[in-house]
Structure 1
Amino acid sequence: MVLIILKKRIPIASGLGGGSADAAATLIGINKLLNLDLSDSELLKIGSSIGSDVPFCLIGGTAIVEGKGEKISPLESLKDIWIVLMKPSYNLLTKDIYKKYDKIGSPCLNDIDKFMKSFSEKELLKKFSMIENCLEKIVEKDHETISILKKKAMESGALAAVMTGSGPTVVALCEDFDSALKVYSKLSKEVDEIYVSKTCSKGVEIFS
């Protein structure tokens, strides 16, 4: 029997993959705690059976994820990109957003191949404005908060702002820490939850 005490830091139903990250951490932890010696491929297979985002959370870093989340192509890692996460007061269920998406179809215009053509950390800073979330326009139909937060983040100096996952959190990507703090201070009264963070190059890590 294993007793797990979980302290949630990532808001639930926010489009940030908190549940998937918890599942990935649990798999890694149990594998080590019980000396199961499961290989990475075995952990990925188990993770895929739990949820579409779990395999990526096991690997982390920067990657193209395809299929149902099981096809992961690692890219040059983008670390220490400063971001501001803005979570509105309401929650959204992923299944509901995808149902609407299936009815409407993809509203995205950007070409992922074009975006990835000269992918590197230096180039990405110039390409942030190309980032798009195909679910965003669907959510915006019922929640204008998304477009308002994006607009205000850009006006505050963000390089780009986009909804995360199935929403409703909006992430603002910033050039440096000072820029992130400026966005944070400008929008801190607009949402219930707001955080300054940065990207990392790894998935789950064990600290002992």
Structure 2
Amino acid sequence: MNQVTRKAYAKINLGLDVLRRRPDGYHEVRMVMQTVGIFDTLTFRKRAGKEPLPDILLSVDKEELSGDESNLIYRAAKLVMETYGVKEGVDISLNKNIPIAAGMAGGSSDAAAAFHGLNELFELSMSLEDMQKMGVKIGADVPYCIVGGTALSEGIGEILTPIAAPPEAYLLIVKPDIDVSTKYVYENLHADTLSEHPDIDGMVEALQEGSLRGITERMGNVLETVTIKKYPVIHQIKEAMVMQGAENALMSGSGPTVFGIYRERERAQEAYKAVEKMGLAKQIYVTEFV
């Protein structure tokens, strides 16, 4: 096998709670993670000789992304190749579709696809657990992205419990034309002073029951307390979605992406047109849970 192609799916947080800041600087979280039908495509090709080229050549199709060691794909590939003593070089190309710096784990999902892609390309026989143990060294969301689906995420994001998938619904996903620093959001979150926390246990129960109403009623994200204060457009988008028939709307991750959940595709598509007409964002998608 000389070439492998993998899809890297975006995620949203149906619920996101931060319990405390740990002594090591990381934050203790409880989140309900869910993959959605927006994805990047990565292609991996073997290259026989390393010289005079580097072991890993990463090409990207977006100017704002780099193909060097600052890219999580590169770091994941390097970790795999060094750990397993891969002697051949690899060319990796990324076709980017997930919004960048959006709170949708696009970089983490790409890194997860790199673990899967190189595992298949070089026949390394890595288990999911093997990949997750390496993945947490790359980023806290990577272990989840390696498995995807619906999961309760705890610890710093590395403790994962699969849970029931949500019932069929349609999503309007909107990324306003701003970039949010995850570091800034967490540094300005004071978890010990939060007056409200999302009902994560109730969310898990609603998922087990297959109750869309139970899910949407419990949607919450404590990071909104920081991000919305700095970027009011996020609140505007949430309000617009609800006015256009969303069961509920929420910011994903540290933002700025907002998603609304709709029972009918037609309502989601009408909301798409309304949000576009309001000029609140250019990156707008209608999709589903994966």
Query: TM-score normalised to the size of structure 1?
Result: 0.90
1:196 aligns with 2:279: no
Q: SS of the residue aligned with 2:203?
A: helix
User: Secondary structure of 1:165's match?
Assistant: coil
Q: Aligned ranges for residues 125-204 of structure 1 at < 5 Å?
A: 125-189=213-277, 190-200=280-290
Give the letter aligned to residue 152 of structure 1: A
Q: Name 1:117's counterpart in structure 2.
A: 205
* 3-state SS of paired residue (2:211): helix
Deviation of the 1:145 alpha carbon: 0.5
Alignment match, 2:41:
none
Shift in Å at residue 149 of structure 1? 0.7
Write out per-residue CA displacement over residues 61-117 of structure 1, whole angstroms, 9 at most, x where no aligned residue: 111000111100000123643101111111011111110014774453332223333
Q: Structure 1 residue aligned with 2:140, among 52, 56, 63? A: 52
Alignment-derived partner of residue 89 in structure 1: 177
Deviations 1:14-69 (CA, angstroms, capped at 9, x unpaired):
11110001000011000010111011110110111111111111111111000111
Q: Give the secondary-structure state (helix, strand or coil) at the position aligned to 1:78.
A: coil
Q: Match of 1:127, as an amino acid? A: I
Distance 1:58 1:16 in 2: 14
Residues 168 and 36 of structure 1, relative CA distance in 2, 3 Å threshold: same
Give the Å deviation of 1:126.
3.8
CA distance in 1, matches of 2:233, 2:264: 25
Residue by residue over 1:129-169, the C-alpha shift from the partner in whole angstroms, topping out at 9 and shown as x without a partner, is 32001101211111111111111100000011000100001
Moved more, 113-122 or 6-15: 113-122
Specify the code of the residue in structure 2 equivalent to 1:147.
H
Q: Over residues 160-180 of structure 1, what are the superposed CA-to-partner deviations in whole Å (9 max), with x where a residue is unaligned?
A: 100010000100111121121
Q: From the superposition, tell whether residues 8 and 144 of structure 1 become closer, same or farther in structure 2 (CA, over 3 Å).
A: same
The whole-number CA distance in structure 2 between the counterparts of 1:38 and 1:103 is 37
The equivalent of 1:205 in structure 2 is none
Computing the radius of gyration over CA atoms, which structure comes out larger, 1 or 2? 2
Separation (CA, whole Å) in 2 of partners of 1:46 and 1:131? 31
**C-alpha root-mean-square deviation of aligned residues, in Å?**
1.7
Which structure 2 segments of 5+ residues have no match?
A: 1-88
In structure 1, distance between residues paired with 2:148 and 2:209:
16
1:195 aligned partner, one-letter code: Y
- The alignment covers a number of residue pairs equal to 200
The match for 2:106 is: 18
- Structure 2 distance, partners of 1:146, 1:59, is 29
Question: Contact between 2:102 and 2:180, CA under 8 Å: does it hold in 1?
Answer: yes
Task: Give the Cα separation in 2 of the matches to 1:88 and 1:81.
Answer: 23
Secondary structure in structure 2 of the residue aligned to 1:150: helix
The answer for unaligned runs of 5 or more in structure 1 is 201-208
